[in-house]
Amino acid sequence: MKKFLVLIIIFFSVPFISRAQQNRERMMRQRMGRLAELEQLKLIDLLNLDETTAVKLFARRKQNLNEQQALIKMKKEYINELRKAVKENDDEKCDSLVNKILYIEKESIKKRAEFIHSLSDILTKEQIAKVIIFESRFKDELKNYFMRHRMRR
């Protein structure tokens, strides 16, 4: 009887746990969306952009972010494969995967440079410099904020 009661409790609690996880994921997506909006608003203000220039900038920026995310995803997959190869002591596979990871890192840097250079037809050199500085500062501020927030817990 006790086993049956435990099974019923587990059976009915699983949907609640699943729903809680979905809510956390949804909240995280909302927060990320708000951060992206804040970042865009700050950039528009910093660069004093008109609407058409802002649209062009953020379209290119989004394309670059999507490309970077695809590269990050590939890199994570290769790193997972590399972990397995290390456990299996497969030197040949490790060497191959390390080369693939290094290639992805080079591609990431190349794509970033292409993005920065592509801005020259819509932004001034000073504005491009401000974009680079802003992105670096914004990332650092976010990192610091989350580190402080994590330490408070």
The alpha carbon torsion through 119, 64, 76, 82 (nearest 10 deg) reads -50
Please tell me the predicted confidence (pLDDT) of residue 26. Answer: 78
Please tell me the predicted confidence (pLDDT) of residue 81. Answer: 96
In the predicted model, residues of the chain with pLDDT beneath 70 are: 1-22, 153
Q: 7 is in which domain, residue-wise?
A: 1-34
Please tell me the predicted confidence (pLDDT) of residue 34. Answer: 85
SS3 content of the chain, % helix, strand, coil (to 5): 95, 0, 5
Q: Is residue 110 within 8 Å of 81, Cβ to Cβ?
A: no
Count: domains in the chain: 2
Please tell me the predicted confidence (pLDDT) of residue 25. Answer: 75
Q: What is the pTM of this model?
A: 0.73
b (16+ CB within 10 A) / e for 25-50: eeeeeeeeeeeeeebeeebbeebebe
Residue whose entry in the numeric block shows the structure tokens 């949804």 = 26
Query: Do 53 and 9 share a domain, yes or no?
Result: no
Query: Do 64 and 125 share a domain, yes or no?
Result: yes
Query: Do 42 and 81 share a domain, yes or no?
Result: yes
| Degrees, nearest 5: CA angle 93-105-34 | 125
Please tell me the predicted confidence (pLDDT) of residue 8. Answer: 57
Query: Do 92 and 112 share a domain, yes or no?
Result: yes
Query: Do 13 and 87 share a domain, yes or no?
Result: no
Query: Do 57 and 90 share a domain, yes or no?
Result: yes
